A and B are shown apart, each in its own frame.
Chain A
């Protein structure tokens, strides 16, 4: 079975500070991992995805994530937060083969302080 744990349902950072959103996964098979962002009253939008090609994945809006198999983690980072980054962020896992279902984490709401 697969699962995803996002530590911290709410994270606050100052504008210009480092953003770190944590995601740990559990999977008995090689996983694919995704980060999605949801702005208020909108659907989810893909930020980046890990598909085994490279462990450091760069996404849109300056975000990146590093796949660490030994730590079963896929944390999302951005060097400098911007006010427009305030949103909810979801980590998701799917199997590397055989199914197209995602298992989503519970989400982390990011607040950016001026």
Chain B
């Protein structure tokens, strides 16, 4: 299994530009999570999906952020317009349902976003 795949691995953009981060979860996993990691705030959950449906987006910082999961094998996180404070490493993780919530999350390698 290839694991969780994220692209691009690095993204440098200018303030005001649209940024799209992509994630392919592990095949058969029905949960998908988007996290943001910064030195100041640590690891934050932005949103998670179950069977392609957004379940909890309370961590999405503001309306400039949006996430979609059009099918079981693909998700995007979009920032429009981007701002320098969005600079961070963005992780995607996936997990499979296990009774009782005993689920391990498998993380992708992350996308390092720099907004100039």
- Whether B80 sits at the interface, judged by CB under 8 Å, is no
Count of residues in B whose CB is under 8 Å from the partner chain: 22
- Interface size class of chain A, counting residues whose CB lies under 8 Å from the partner chain: 20 to 34
Contact of A100 (CB < 8 Å), options: B42, B43, B101: B101
> Are A100 and B31 interface neighbours, CB within 8 A?
yes
> Are B101 and A97 interface neighbours, CB within 8 A?
yes
Which residues of A lie under 8 Å from residue B108 when comparing CB positions? 43
> Are B102 and A101 interface neighbours, CB within 8 A?
no
- Whether B61 sits at the interface, judged by CB under 8 Å, is no
> Are A96 and B101 interface neighbours, CB within 8 A?
yes
> Are B95 and A100 interface neighbours, CB within 8 A?
yes
The dominant DSSP class at the B interface is strand
> Are B95 and A101 interface neighbours, CB within 8 A?
no
Binds B, one of A15-23, A60-68, A69-77, A102-110: A102-110
Which residues of B lie under 8 Å from residue A100 when comparing CB positions? 31, 48, 50, 95, 101, 103
Which residues of B lie under 8 Å from residue A46 when comparing CB positions? 104-106
> Are A99 and B43 interface neighbours, CB within 8 A?
no
The 8 A CB mask of A78-108 against B (1 = contact, 0 = none) is 0000000000001000111111111011110
Known contacts: A32-B101, A95-B101, A96-B101. The answer to whether A101 contacts B45 by CB under 8 A is yes
- Whether A56 sits at the interface, judged by CB under 8 Å, is no
Contact of B107 (CB < 8 Å), options: A45, A97, A98: A45
Which B90-110 residues have a C-beta within 8 angstroms of A? 91, 93, 95, 100-110
> Are A94 and B101 interface neighbours, CB within 8 A?
yes
23 pairs, CB–CB < 8 Å, chain A vs chain B: A32-B101, A34-B104, A36-B107, A43-B4, A43-B110, A44-B93, A44-B105, A44-B107, A46-B104, A46-B105, A46-B106, A49-B102, A51-B100, A51-B102, A90-B43, A96-B100, A96-B101, A97-B101, A101-B45, A104-B42, A104-B45, A106-B42, A107-B42
Enumerate chain A interface residues (CB-CB to B < 8 A).
32, 34, 36, 41-46, 49, 51, 90, 94-102, 104-107
Enumerate chain B interface residues (CB-CB to A < 8 A).
4, 31, 42-43, 45, 48, 50, 56, 91, 93, 95, 100-110
List of 4 A-B pairs having minimum Cβ-Cβ separation, nearest first: A43-B107, A44-B107, A104-B43, A51-B102
